[in-house]
Amino acid sequence: MIWDLYLVMPLALIFIGALFLMLFSLVQKVELANYNLVTVAFLTLSLIIELIIFQNVEHDYLFETIFAKMFIVDKLSTLFNILFLSGAILTLLINNNYFKSRDYYNGEFFALLLFSIFGMMMLAHTNELITAFISIELASITLYVLVGYNHHSLKSSEAMLKYIILGSLAGVFFILGVALVYGVVGSTYLGDIYTYLAHHQNDEMTLLIVGMMFMMVTLLFKIGAAPFHSWVVDVYIGSPFPVTMFMATTLKIAIFSILLRLFLVDFAPIYPIISEIIKAVAILTLLIGSLLAISQTQLKGMLAASSIVHVGYMLIALYAISLGSSFAASAIIFYLISYFLSAVGAFGILSFLASDEEKRHLSFDDFKGFAHERPYMAAAMTIFMLSLAGFPSTIGFLGKFYIFMSAIEAGEILLAGFGIMIAFISIYYYFKLIALMYFYPSANPKKKFPFSISTLLIVAMALMIVWGGIGTGLIPFIAGADGLLTIASEALKTIGK
Amino acid sequence: MQHLLSMILFLPLLVAFTMGIFRVSIETLRMVTFGSSLMVLLFAVVVTSYFNVEGGMQFVHNSSWISHYGINYSIGLDAISLLLLLLIALLMPLIFLAIWEEQRKGYFYNLLLLQAGISGVIMAQDLILFYLFWESMLLPIFIMIGSYGYGMRHFNAMKIIIMTVFGSMSMLLAIIYLGYTHYTTVGFWSFELSNLAQLAFDSKTSILLAGAFLLAFAIKIPLFGFHTWMAPAYSSSPTAIVVVLSAIMAKLGVYGLYRFGFTLFEIPLGFYTPYVILLCLIGIVFYSIHAIMQRDLKRIFAFSSGAHLSLITLGLFMTNIYAWSGGLYLLATHAIASAGIFLMIGMLGRRTQNIQIAHLGGIASIAPRFAFFFAFFALAITGVPGTGGFVAELLIIVGAFKYHFWVGVVAAMTMLGAILFIFWTLQRTLFGTTQEVTKHFGDLSAIEIGILTPLVIILLITGIFPSLLLDFFDASLSTNLEAFQGGVK
């Protein structure tokens, strides 16, 4: 019991924090910065506990006597929780100035954000399909509200409406899929489904496979894979900067947590059926994402479209899993971490700029001469772009390297070549920004480096990306390129069947 | 001693990083970068003094980097890499002297990063490490062409990066495949060159893999057909970059072929040999004719560089001892001569703001010292007797005749073509009547002479005592060549 209480602590803290902030936000006269501080305090506390749990958890169920085996606690779920929590903390801290610069933020914003995180954390723990559905919806519904939080902006409202309609439609597929699966198997536990699949022939369970395909539709929609990508660019552009940042980093990772779990455990018996579909989706996603990214004029739009491309890379690795690649799963986790770091940094700089000046849209042209105005910020942005482009000496390169390696291990050399081709195309749109920052004279005079939490965090992110790319065991406690991979494969080992 | 190479590699990085953090003034930056480049030169000289000519790969340092995939931080030098290392170490202080008056700090930071990147490419013995440096050295070049260049600099910067990255990406795929094959056949991960060289493939795979490597290097050299980035990039680059591009970067393509191409794929490269030789021969003629047609000094010497690099590549692919030692000799002497000529074009450009040949003329009568040095470097490029280029080209041409009569004839045309366009350029630039822009042409200052003199001395020494340098890399060359020919048989 005590052990369970200890394991549930991070989740409980977030839930309590969300309720507390909900009530607290009724009190007038509280400054926004204080809400932010309280939220960050809850998140940090939870993060610390998760970090400790990561050291000594193996494979456990949360309150087995009450919930049966609905919630699983292993290193994988803990690792994902660590990512969500740090994503949320970084989002809140980096956007501290941004919140102050806009008048539509209030206490509820933070409560909603915590609820969303709670949903994601539950999703990482889930071992059962109904819980998975509830968690996905909890994370999504709060995000619908957050996307439309800027109620002065028509664009924001439009984005919310688009997201809500498409998102709920996609959600319906999941519940339909779950119903079909339950109809065949008679249980919604991942383990039971696996057992059923393993002991039956393919032609006996058409309905089950159809159900699982429906579930895949929802998951692919949520990560923004083609052909379910149409919402991504509009929603990303329409939402306020903090929400875009939050969505791009944490939500995607959350969906991957359940996708990986489903894929590694349940889908294993039907890999031959599903692998070709994943392959087609991956190729389509990479192509369409690249085309979209090239044609964007706003930086936010480019980052949104490029996030589609990054999903495509991870789908390559997912495909490699289905062909039996042994290190594709850890490659996905490494890639998620690397994308997380780079995207948080890039979006962070955008929101820093948006809070600083009245550049609401931040088109590419606004970055002309940026390097001469703010050399450190531009250097950090360059590092983020290089990492997203997969340039060596950044963590992004290693991420891509592992992905292509897993594709080659699966015997798909052409697919790896195609991925490298897409990486080559991405050089164009990422270097376009670097070129704009460095090649043009600046209209404004050089500014001093603004020391604040957000800027320091951005610089720290940039350093971490470089360290993740070249780092070794030189500094023992900071996981470099090597350590992160160890963590990822350790986490995967504890996943049970 | 163990860490000397690492110090050469990381000193510029460290300097750039510290200077950047403290945002030092331009005066300090200038002094410190110059000092660091001298330090690197000193280290390189120390390395040379401890270097054993017969010893093969030396100063080897190997420590684990990404242990999961057996990727190591593995560096080392043999005679040929040492030669390139000395070249870059020698050129950097001269470049820093040449841009002494520069007020934009970015110049210094980028050059430091570039030096580190190039040294890394030269030393790396692990393919992933090599790829890392190979790509990262592009970045400073990209930024410098785009920020400080001339003409259509934005477009040309983008062009050079897109074209060269395309080549390196194909190489990356081949590297990953090699690494994975090593894992499946030998049983453990390694990207170490010496380990990967042991692998055996069926002929089709190995030809594809060799082609992927060849593409990367052919773009960098550039061979005929892969050259479209060359002239625009040269003409858009600021002086410092154009010196590095022609003196070092282009040579790294040849070095990569020698080090990685020939070590990994002795036999499959034989499949490409006729095509590469054909491209080289076309390149020699094509670049020479183009050089004659150009109106701007930088573009003339860009194409002349292209012609000589085709000749070097030709020497490399003929795989006999004359052609190989000639090729490597030309690598060194052409680097020095072209560094000299591009430094002088930079000086000329500072004085006249114009390097169009039509606007120049009559410099010899008012600036005799400038004319002397300019003519010397230009002639050194053509390979007049007495300079190192002569010995080198002679060796390659002898090797070419040994390979095939007509190949020798076309290779010999490099000298003819070079003499044609160089003399015509000299006549139009240095002699004739003075024009509007050259009317007040100032002669070389003491510092400028100081920059150029070491290059002149080296060219003369290599021309008069060729055996000094030839003996230096003869040993490692013959072993490699024997290994290579053994592999072919």
DSSP secondary structure letters along B232-274: HHHHHS-HHHHHHIIIIIHHHHHHHIIIIIHHH-HHHHHHHHH
Cβ–Cβ gap B143/A404 under 8 Å:
no
Q: Dihedrals φ, ψ of B65, to 5°? A: -120, -65
Separation between Cα atoms, residue B137 and residue A143, nearest integer Å: 42
HSE-CB at B279 with a 13 A cutoff on CA atoms is 22
Cα A109 from Cα A21, distance rounded (Å): 9
C-beta atoms of B153 and A405 within 8 A: no
Across the interface, which of A421, A427, A439 has its CB nearest the CB of B161?
Answer: A427
Answer yes or no: are the C-beta atoms of B77 and B58 closer than 8 Å: yes
Q: What is d(CA A456, CA A93) in angstroms, rounded to the nearest whole number? A: 10
Q: Does A490 touch chain B (CB under 8 A)?
A: no
Neighbouring C-beta atoms of residue A377, cutoff 10 Å: 22
Picking from B256, B15, B19, B18, the residue whose alpha carbon sits closest to that of residue B118 is: B256
What are the residue ranges in chain A where pLDDT is below 70?
Answer: 357-361, 472-480, 496-497
Q: Do the Cβ atoms of A405 and B69 come within 8 Å? A: yes
A42 vs B: CB within 8 A:
no
Determine the Cα–Cα distance for residues B131 and A121; give it in Å rounded to an integer: 39
**CB–CB of A482 and B65 under 8 A?**
yes
Instruction: Tell me whether A404 touches chain B (CB under 8 Å).
Output: yes
Chain A stretch 94-123, residues whose beta carbon is closer than 8 A to a beta carbon of chain B = none
Q: Which of B65, B157, B169 sits opposite A424 (nearest CB)?
A: B169
Is A421 in Cβ contact with B169 (below 8 Å)?
yes
Subunit contact A472:B176, Cβ cutoff 8 A: no
CA nearest to B183 within chain A: A409
Query: How close A309 gets to chain B, by Cα (Å)?
Result: 17
Is the CB of A3 inside 8 Å of chain B's CB atoms? no
> Taking CB atoms and an 8 Å limit, are B136 and A393 in contact across chains?
yes
What is the rounded CA–CA span in Å between residue A212 and residue B266? 51
If one counts every other C-beta atom within 10 angstroms of the C-beta of residue A105, the result is 20
Q: Which residues contact A186 (CB under 8 A, 6 or more apart)?
A: A192
Query: Cβ of A6 under 8 Å from any chain B Cβ?
Result: no
pLDDT value of position A123: 94
Amino acid at B399: G
Q: Predicted confidence band at B489 (pLDDT cuts at 50, 70, 90)? A: very low
Sign of CA dihedral B376, B378, B380, B386: negative
Residue B2: is its pLDDT beyond 80? no
Instruction: Please tell me if residue A424 touches chain B, with a CB cutoff of 8 Å.
Output: yes
- Point out the residue among B73, B146, B180 whose CB comes nearest to the CB of A408: B180
Which residues of chain A are within 8 Å of residue B166 when distances are taken between CB atoms? Answer: 424
Looking at residue B418, what is its pLDDT? Answer: 86
Q: Which residues of B touch A485 (CB under 8 A)?
A: 66, 68
CB atoms A427 and B162 under 8 Å: yes
Indicate the length of chain A as a whole number: 497
pLDDT at B19 over 60: yes
| Contact with chain B for residue A413, Cβ under 8 A | yes
List, for residues B33-78, the tens digit of each pLDDT value: 999 999 999 999 999 888 887 777 888 888 888 888 888 889 998 8
The chain B residues in contact with chain A (CB within 8 A) are: 20, 63-69, 73, 106, 128, 131-132, 135-136, 139, 142-143, 146-147, 153-154, 157-158, 161-162, 165-166, 169-170, 172-173, 176-177, 179-180
Chain B contact for A416, CB < 8 A?
A: yes
- How high is the pLDDT of residue B441? 82
> CA-nearest residue of chain B to A389?
B165
Tokens, residue A420: 């490298």
Between residues B151 and A47, the one the model is more confident about = A47
Instruction: Give the pLDDT mean for B428-447.
Output: 83
Q: Which amino acid is at A224?
A: G
Using a CB-CB cut-off of 8 Å, the residues of chain A touching B143 are: 434, 438
Contact B173 A417 (CB under 8 A): yes
**Residue A365 forms contact with B (CB below 8 Å):** no
Rounded CA-CA distance A187/A192 in Å is 7
Are B180 and A408 in contact, with CB atoms under 8 Å apart?
Answer: yes
Distances (CA, A) of B425 to B11, B290, B346: 40, 13, 16
Q: Count CB pairs under 8 A between chains A and B.
A: 85
- Cβ-Cβ contacts under 8 Å, B64 against chain A: 472-473
Which of B135, B160, B171 would best serve as a mutation to test chain A binding (most A beta carbons within 10 A)?
B135
Look at B64 and A473 and tell me if their CB atoms are within 8 Å.
yes
DSSP string, A443-474: SSPP-----SHHHHHHHHHHHHHHHHHH--TT
Contact B68 A486 (CB under 8 A): yes
Angle at B327 between CA B325 and CA B331, to 5 degrees: 115
Predicted pLDDT of residue B481: 75
CB contact under 8 A, B161 and A421: no
Query: Is residue B322 over pLDDT 90?
Result: no
Cβ <8 Å between A420 and B170: yes
Q: For A471, which residue in chain B has the nearest alpha carbon? A: B65
CB pair distance less than 8 Å for B146 and A438: yes
In the predicted model, what is the mean pLDDT of residues B333-345? 92
| Closest Cα in chain A to B134 | A392
Residue of B158, B191, B205, B219 to mutate, interface with A, max A Cβ within 10 Å: B158
The residues near B103 (Cβ < 8 Å, ≥ 6 apart) are: B26
A420 contacts B68? CB cut-off 8 A: no
Out of B165, B179, B180, whose CB is closest to A424?
Answer: B165
Selected for mutation to probe chain B from A472, A486, A492 (highest B CB count within 10 Å) is: A472
Residues of A in contact with B142 (CB under 8 A): 431, 434-435
Tell me what pLDDT residue B325 has.
86
Q: What pLDDT does residue A479 have?
A: 67
A404, closest residue in chain B (CA to CA): B176
A439–B139: do the CB atoms touch at under 8 Å? no
Selection from A76, A57, A13 nearest residue A330 by Cα: A76
Distance CA A148, CA A170 (A): 19
CB contact under 8 A, A391 and B136: yes
Considering CB atoms only, which of B135, B153, B169 is closest to A420?
A: B169
Contacts of B63 in chain A (CB under 8 A): 472
